[in-house]
Structure 1
Amino acid sequence: MSILMMIGQFLCGLSLLVFFHELGHFLAAKAFGIRIKKFYLFFDAFDKRLCRFNYNGTEFGLGWLPVGGYVRMAGTMTGTDESDPGEDSEIPYDQRYDHKPVWQRLIVMSAGIIMNLLLALLVYCVMFLYYGRNQVTIFGKNLIILPGQLGMQAGLQPGDEVTAINADSSLYEDELLSTHLMHGNTILSIVRRQGKERVHMHVAVSPKIMQLVADKGLTQFFSIKAGFQVDSIYTNLDLRKNKEFKNAHIVALNGDSVNSFNDFIIRLKETKARQLYLTVIHDGKTSTMLAHRDKDGHIGFSLDNRAPLLRPERVSFVQSLSAGGSKMWNNIAENSKGLSQLVSGEVKARDGLVGPVRIATLFSGHFEAKRFWELVAMLSTALALINVIPLAPMDGGVMAVLVYEAVTRRPVNRSFLAFFYLAGIVAIMLLSGYVLLNDIRALNLITL
């Protein structure tokens, strides 16, 4: 059931991204008087589709192949021969894409990219307005972390206290949990207990590790220790009698990280099993214990009496625009740097290229609204950046041709254009196949 929920969220998120992208092309084309023949979410390959209807001369439909979507404009299906007007020759010139000025066609092709960026900005702004922002109130005092596998590789240890990131000790939670702050040559200032001493040190995080963090999720790097303590657990382990784990801190429930008391309660309510596995941290050591609910579904623990790690702050509309725009720009910078590292060879393709299989695993096995919309915004920004790549038939490839026409003031030879599109399609198919196999390999489903 959890797998179906994960796949359902992925398809729902993908549908939103594709719909808004194609809506951008649709609205821009309509604004310039271009006739739209088809608007499809997903592809109707082999002329097969799930449903369709016609409205104002446009066929709207839902294809069966969930790998994208398209807007079919009049004047885009021309022949390879210069004398061949194509199948839209009966449509008036003023309603055809190929007879519009270059600047109008550039706007139409870039509108999908712009719409994806606007979607990301809208999601971030609404999330800041609804959830507000959490300021880290005791950053550098008791901000104890639980490093994941990648954090261990970077040199972090359980119980480390983060005092600053790149010498910045005044942060909000959304900034602290952003890979942008730790992307590339980033220095984490930490305090580590060695016996009775507190040793101050700095940990340099390599770009390769942060690329893996962007792929596998920040919790694989570190999670913030939850702000509540274990007091007693029914039946299987009575911590009141076992002083070894007295006042241990809960950091995960059944393997899923919990970063706050509310997060723990939500996950506890969503979990129906009577037996629970709790990951706790005590004296710098991480342990997993088996807990058991009583007949009423309760489990014993006590709240931490120390000052809270986070202080909620309401956000105004103007502040949400600023914070949302900053987060969207950070995503663009992260993805751009990732692409440049791929091109330069600093990051290997098998580590840096992520396909639909691994993207789907980013969604949880149970629905969490905040997590879902954060992933939608992140993927929307990534989709916008990918479409800038000058590879036909993606938007970037079409825009590259249009820029050539604008500079040379003459249209591109149709035979060359057909070859350019065919080469782009073949390249995309080969790359997609590689990414898919890479995803399967990364999930240890096959051995390559």
Structure 2
Amino acid sequence: MSILIMIAQFLVGLSLLVFIHELGHFLAAKAFGIRVKKFYLFFDTFSKRLFRFNYKGTEFGIGWLPLGGYVRMAGSIATADDSDPDEDADVPPAHRYGHKPVWQRLIVMSAGIFMNLLLALLVYCGMFLYYGRNQVAVFGKNAIILPGQLGLQAGLQPGDEVTSINADSALYEDELLSTHLMHGNTVLSIVRRQGKERVHLHVAVSPKIMQLVADKGLTQFFSLKAGFQVDSFFTNVDLRRNQAFKKAHIIALNGDSVRSYNDFIIRLKENEQRQLYLTVIHDGKTSTMLAHRDKDGHIGFSLNTNLPVFKPERVSIGQSLSAGSTKVWSTIAQNSKGLSQLVSGEVKAKDGLVGPVRIATLFSGHFEAKRFWGLVALLSTALALLNVIPLAPMDGGVMAVLLYEAVTRKPVSRTFWAFFYLAGVVAIMLLSGYVLFNDIRALHQVSS
């Protein structure tokens, strides 16, 4: 059942992203008087579709192939290579895409990208307004970290105290999980106890490790010492107290991160009817195990008196707009840096390219609104950036041709467009095949 919920969330999120993107093209085309013949969510390949209806001369529908969507405009570039040159003969030239000025066509083609960025901004602003922002309350105040496997590789040690990240000690949780960690050249300022001395150090983390952190999760790098520890708990192995994990720190329950005692209690209530899989950090190692409740439904753990990890803050509309804009921009910068590292070879393609299979696994096996909308905003920004790449038939490829026309003041030939379009389609198909293979291989490695 959890797999079905995960897939359903992925399809709903994908549908929203595609619909908003194509809506941008549709609204811009209508604004310039261009006749829109089709508006489809997903592709109606081989003329097969799940649903359709006509309204004011436009066919709206849902295709059966969930790999995107499209808006078919009269006199579009795609029409120029159709086998029937008179397909749009019934449309006056003034209402055809190809007869519009270059600047109008550029706006029409970039409108989908703009709408995806606008969606991300609105979602982030709404989340900040509804949930507020969690300031990291312990930075500069003995913020003890528990390094995971990637953190140990970077040179961190259990008991290190983080004072700042990239020279910034005033951090919010959303920054900690994205801007300040998910790109290269990250520098952690730490205090390490060596005997009776406190030594101040700066740990530089390589882009390769940060890429692995982005792929495998922040807890594989480090976890802030939360407000409670495991004292002991029953496992399903022998129903005896497992002393091997005494004073381990719970960082996730059934795959959902746990950052505080209250967070842990909420997760327990959400999983009352499910088996409990606890992810803990102990001696620098991350382990996941099946926990066992006692007859009263409890598992053993003990509290400590550390400072709270996060301090919740309410934000105004103006603050949410500022924080949302910063979040969108930092996500663009993060993804752009990732693309440049792929091109330069700093990050291998098998580590940096993530396809729909692994994206789907980012959604939880049960619905959580904050997590769902956060992923929608993140993927919407990524989709906008992806469509800037100058490959036909993506928006970036069409925009590159239009910019060429604007500079040379003459349209490209039909032959050039045909080869450019074909080359783009072949490149996208090959890349999609590689990404899909890479996704399946990565999942197989995790399961084994």
Task: Settle same-fold status: TM greater than 0.5.
Answer: yes
Deviations 1:158-178 (A, max 9, x none): 333221111211111111121
In structure 2, the residue matched to 1:16 is 16
In structure 1, the residue matched to 2:292 is 292
Report how far residue 383 of structure 1 moved: 0.6
Alignment RMSD (CA, Å): 2.8
Query: What is the TM-score normalised by the length of structure 2?
Result: 0.91
Counterpart mapping for 1:322-401 below 5 A:
322-401=322-401
Report how far residue 270 of structure 1 moved: 2.6
1:18 & 1:287 partners in 2: Cα distance? 38
Any unmatched runs of 5+ in structure 2? Answer: none
In structure 1, the residue matched to 2:413 is 413
1:248 & 1:57 partners in 2: Cα distance? 64
Deviations 1:250-269 (A, max 9, x none): 33335653112232122212
Q: Which amino acid aligns with 1:399?
A: M
1:400 & 1:347 partners in 2: Cα distance? 27
Residue pair 1:80, 1:415 contacting (<8 A) in 2 also: no
Report how far residue 281 of structure 1 moved: 5.2
In structure 1, the residue matched to 2:67 is 67
In structure 1, the residue matched to 2:161 is 161
1:26 & 1:287 partners in 2: Cα distance? 50
Q: Which amino acid aligns with 2:58?
A: T
Report how far residue 371 of structure 1 moved: 1.2
Report how far residue 341 of structure 1 moved: 1.2
Call closer, same or farther: CA 1:80–1:133 in 2, change over 3 Å.
closer
2:42 & 2:208 partners in 1: Cα distance? 34
Residue pair 2:6, 2:361 contacting (<8 A) in 1 also: yes
Q: Which amino acid aligns with 1:9?
A: Q
In structure 2, the residue matched to 1:190 is 190
Residue pair 1:43, 1:63 contacting (<8 A) in 2 also: yes
Q: Which amino acid aligns with 1:11?
A: L
Residue pair 1:225, 1:250 contacting (<8 A) in 2 also: no
Report how far residue 8 of structure 1 moved: 1.4
Residue pair 1:135, 1:313 contacting (<8 A) in 2 also: yes
Q: Which amino acid aligns with 1:174?
A: D
In structure 1, the residue matched to 2:115 is 115
Report how far residue 127 of structure 1 moved: 0.4
SS at match of 1:331: helix
Deviates more, 1:22-31 or 1:196-205: 196-205
Deviates more, 1:430-439 or 1:217-226: 217-226
1:223 & 1:314 partners in 2: Cα distance? 24
Kindly indicate whether residue 125 of structure 2 is the aligned counterpart of residue 144 of structure 1.
no
Report how far residue 52 of structure 1 moved: 0.9
Deviations 1:316-335 (A, max 9, x none): 00000000000100000011
In structure 2, the residue matched to 1:78 is 79
Residue pair 2:102, 2:402 contacting (<8 A) in 1 also: yes
Counterpart mapping for 1:35-54 below 5 A:
35-54=35-54
Call closer, same or farther: CA 1:13–1:199 in 2, change over 3 Å.
same
Call closer, same or farther: CA 1:193–1:102 in 2, change over 3 Å.
same
> Number of paired residues?
443
Counterpart mapping for 1:97-136 below 5 A:
97-136=97-136
SS at match of 2:252: strand
Q: Which amino acid aligns with 1:443?
A: L
Q: Which amino acid aligns with 2:407?
A: V
Q: Which amino acid aligns with 1:406?
A: A
Residue pair 2:281, 2:287 contacting (<8 A) in 1 also: yes
